[in-house]
Amino acid sequence: MTTFTKISENETPTITVNPTARLSKINPNIYSGFTEHMGRCIYGGIYDPGNPLSDENGFRKDVLAALKELNIPVVRYPGGNFVATYHWLDGVGPKDQRPARPELAWLGTETNHFGTDEFLKWCEVLGTEPYFCFNFGTGTLDEAMAWVEYCNGTGNTYYANLRRKNGREEPYNVKYWALGNETYGPWQVEQTTKEAYAHKAYQWAKGNIHMYTASPDHLSNATAPLAAERAIEIASSLIDLARIENGVSPDEPRPTICFDEWNVWDPLRAEGRFGAEETYTLSDALAVGVFLNVFVRKSRDLGMACIAQSVNVISPLMTTKEGIIKQTTWWPLLLFSRYMRGWTIAAHVSCGTYEGETSPAWLRSAKDTPWLDASAVLDEDGYVNLVVVNVHESKSFKANLQGASGPVSVFTVTGSDVTATNMKGKQEVGIEESTWDGHDDYEFPKHSLQLLRWKA
């Protein structure tokens, strides 16, 4: 974790990193992904048969190559709001016999040409674990059990044999299953109460947390992911409370939290019914960096986190007929996926804070919003990796960085200003590499994310 002390604006910031203080192991699943039948995420995104850039399965090879760079451990499917009216049997068997259905979440038509077997084959090609979400809205327990049998059954049973008939002899061994999606929301088909959900979940199981943030104001936008940190802290406390009140033995493993949808998303700027194709800015990239800092800081509590979504729909990766575009938000995600693994280590930041309005408004009274947002890890190779996001739009900060020893590799994500984007025909935001000798104070540039890496 990273602790924080507020100091005046005219004092020199200090960042202290202690690689000997390993606090908690980081679950690699915090770098997971998410695909949903929404907009161009599936059709024209990961699946585009007939395109010369696709393989014999119809999978976009350029998308696969890019996603392999992230070493994604788990991908969630098929929703999302979509799942509340999705019936998995519509999406298996011969494609010409699969029914097209009205799609009620995003107001389209679902052809079902891409379904369970296609997704599981795609996961195998990508080298990731699948994570299925049950239809907890219009679905039934029988339907859910049949899906598990289809995917994992080994016996001479109906749905295991149906899988074999459809061309897959061996079971897929799907490990991760979720009970519905955002059933608390009025936008959800079969919205329910927490009491009714708990009763139904108990029967099916014999939560998850979702959060999107966005603001047209840069500082509100970049600090908004700190609301996720407070949500994780609250959920963690509720887990402890439930264990205490129900007399759960301390020998029972403590459940971890699955943060299975997160990202920057302004539904007014990128409407879901029109495909939710965001044009991300440098400000959004810094917000993604703060989100990921939160997940590293809270590694004790997190078992999984899934960025929504993997391609085209509120995504760091966009496809065209000719290729792919890596949005501004791709670059912090790449750095964290590559380097921020291992153990969360103790770090302390002393600096000034942003004092303006926050989004959500309650964040102002619930969390500090420092100019320098940081997390630190010790990886398996004995390197310290420190990420610092300077959210200040116009001010660089020269800080006393204690615990670093040169040579230090530096990876910087920034741009000309916080509105810089990669979606206007030119890559304005990427990764710049440099080195620092580890001496004297270090200057963190305005509106930037930097990863500093050195041997412990």
Q: Would you name the residues annotated as active-site residues? A: 182, 261
Q: Which of 296, 269, 295 minimizes the C-alpha distance to 281?
A: 269
How far is 152 from 291, CA to CA, in rounded Å? 34
Question: What does the chain come to in residues?
Answer: 456
Helix (H, G, I), strand (E, B) or coil at 235: helix
CA separation (Å) from 34 to 131, 306, 317? 9, 6, 12
Q: Which of 11, 69, 38, 49 minimizes the C-alpha distance to 314?
A: 38
How far is 430 from 413, CA to CA, in rounded Å? 6
How far is 133 from 176, CA to CA, in rounded Å? 8
Residue 237: Cβ-neighbour burial (10 angstroms; 0-12, 13-18, 19+) = exposed
Q: Which amino acid is at 274?
A: F
Crossing angle (nearest 10°) for helices 116-126 and 141-152:
40
How far is 103 from 437, CA to CA, in rounded Å? 57
In this structure, what are the phi and psi dihedrals at residue 306, rounded to the nearest 5 degrees? Answer: -120, 115
- Contact between residue 304 and residue 74 where contact means Cβ atoms under 8 Å apart: yes
- Contact between residue 32 and residue 77 where contact means Cβ atoms under 8 Å apart: no
How far is 201 from 207, CA to CA, in rounded Å? 10
- In degrees to the nearest 10, what's the CA dihedral of 179, 184, 189, 195? 70
Crossing angle (nearest 10°) for helices 141-152 and 194-205:
40
- In degrees to the nearest 10, what's the CA dihedral of 33, 37, 40, 43? 110
Q: Quick one: tokens of 144?
A: 């859910």
- Contact between residue 124 and residue 60 where contact means Cβ atoms under 8 Å apart: no
How far is 303 from 293, CA to CA, in rounded Å? 15
Q: Which amino acid is at 24?
A: S
| Helix runs in 69-187, H state only | 116-126, 141-152, 158-165
